[in-house]
Amino acid sequence: MLRYARLYWLFLIQRLKILMEYRLNFFIGAFSFLAMQSVGLVGVWAIMRQVPSLNGWSFNELLFIYGLITLAKSMNHMFADNLWTLGQSYIRTGGFDRFMVRPINPLFHLLADRFCHDGIGELVVGGVLVGYTSRALGIPWTLANFLYLLLAVLTGSVIFVALNLFTATSAFWIVESVPVTLVVFNTHEFAYYPLTMYHRFIQVAMTWLIPYGFASFYPASYLLGREVGVMAWVGTLVAGVLLLLAYQVWKFGLQHYSSTGS
């Protein structure tokens, strides 16, 4: 574990050196998602202007949910975004071959090969939203609540990574896996809002099939003092199981990798 931590640090330093060769591009990329997130926030604001309470949830509470899932998504964006490029940038070009001949885990190498600085903008947006709304809503930031927040963000990010790993692995068979990943990834937009406002089928799907609800609704409900029972805590277990299953699918796909020879 320590070996991989040191290796990741070395990969990260080299990546930052490359990015800082074009500093303006670095800062534009890092904060471009501020504008993109603003569009989503304007959508929430427009809805709440017409409906002051959405299924019993206020505007600030919706922003709190939005902030939580944005924080989780930012971790995935920064450290695991390379999963999106597996087919197009590595398998199609034959570049994945180098991962197969080096004495480190190929999945680790894929993830460490590219730190995506665009996610910094998402991290800033999520942090500001959670900080502002928690103060407006009077959430007491005790040590227990703070640790729960960290656990919730980590849980959410693992769920994002696991689902992307599931779908990205299809690149070993179809090469172009982005459309498959996009279909599943885009369902996270349901989790910007309280799950209780949806049909029962969507609630179940966002909890057990594509469990983005554990990245936003359930931890937000717990921190806001809304009763969700054990669902406030099972997200970490769900995330762990999902990641384990995704990794098994990855290993199966790896066995079927065939070099392009290019």
Q: Tens digit of pLDDT for each residue in 121-131? A: 889 889 999 99
118 backbone dihedrals φ, ψ, rounded to 5°: -60, -30
Q: For residue 118, name the pLDDT band (cuts at 50, 70, 90).
A: confident
The predicted model gives 18-26 an average pLDDT of: 71
Asked whether residue 227 carries a pLDDT value surpassing 70, the answer given is yes
The predicted model gives 240-256 an average pLDDT of: 96
Asked whether residue 261 carries a pLDDT value surpassing 70, the answer given is no
Domain total of the chain: 1
Q: How many other β-carbons are positioned within 10 Å of the β-carbon of residue 133? A: 23
Query: Would you give the DSSP letter of residue 57?
Result: B
Residue 2 resides in a domain: no
Residue 151 resides in a domain: yes
The predicted model gives 95-122 an average pLDDT of: 92
Residue 5 resides in a domain: no
Residue 13 resides in a domain: no
User: What is the pTM assigned to this prediction?
Assistant: 0.92
Q: For residue 23, name the pLDDT band (cuts at 50, 70, 90).
A: low
Residue 173 resides in a domain: yes
Tokens (6 digits) for 159: 């769920």
Residue 6 resides in a domain: no
Residue 138 resides in a domain: yes
Residue 121 resides in a domain: yes
Domain that holds residue 107: 23-255
Of 120-134, 137-151, 197-211, the one with minimum mean pLDDT is 120-134
